[in-house]
A = this chain, B = another copy of it.
Amino acid sequence: MPRVVDHHERRAEVAAIAADLIAQRGLEGVSLRDVAARGGYSTTVVTHYFANKHELLLHAYRSAGSATEARLAAVAADADDRLLAICEAILPLDEARRRTWQTWFAFWGSAIADPELAGMQRRRLLWFREMLADELTAAGANDPHEAARELLALVRGVAAEAIFDPDDWPAERQRDLVERTLDRLVVPA
């Protein structure tokens, strides 16, 4: 007797395949047909869950966001280097985090031309910066809001380089620069 397909499960399966393909090939390089072929489905199955590539991209973006939030949630509340650990959670230090950044890049390529996506990107950025400002306040930074702005810009700049040149930005080098920046920004009053 064939197993009754759990729709949530299958939707998640299709979405995961799409997210992988988008990170690997960029949005331009992925069609609904590719997603179907990779999963061994008919295209109809894919379009049942995701009407078009825009919806696949949105879902890939949300998945990348959830992955980042899970990494952030795993940072110990009482870690000595809590701020560094938070930055490490978002830096492309390993393959999984690189994959997340590839998804951001695929998304940005569309978001430059789409006010709705640009708005999502903007809100995500502000949310993250506010979170960093809270942490910097707790750590005793002098000007936590300005410090959060600078720290996040630097982390994102490092990531944007490391994605294209991982050999030039081994994990240790990414960490070192962020650590130095934190040492400078978090000066006990």
Residues of A with Cβ closer than 8 Å to B? Answer: 23-29, 53, 102, 105-106, 108-114, 118, 121-122, 125-126, 149-150, 152-158, 160-161, 163-165, 168, 177
Contact = CB atoms under 8 A, between A and B. Distances in A.
Contacts of A156: 157, 160-161
Nearest to A27: B28
A105 B104 CA distance: 11
Given A26-B112, A29-B110, A109-B109, 18 more contacts: A24-B113, A26-B110, A105-B109, A105-B112, A106-B109, A108-B108, A108-B160, A109-B110, A122-B165, A149-B177, A150-B177, A153-B154, A153-B157, A153-B160, A154-B154, A156-B160, A157-B157, A157-B160
Number of copies: 2
A26 B113 CA distance: 6
A111 B177 CA distance: 25
Contacts of A168: 122, 126
Contacts of A177: 149-150, 153
Contact of A161 (B53, B109, B111, B152): B152
A166 to B, nearest CB: 10
Which of A28, A53, A106 has the most chain B CB atoms inside 10 A of its CB? A28
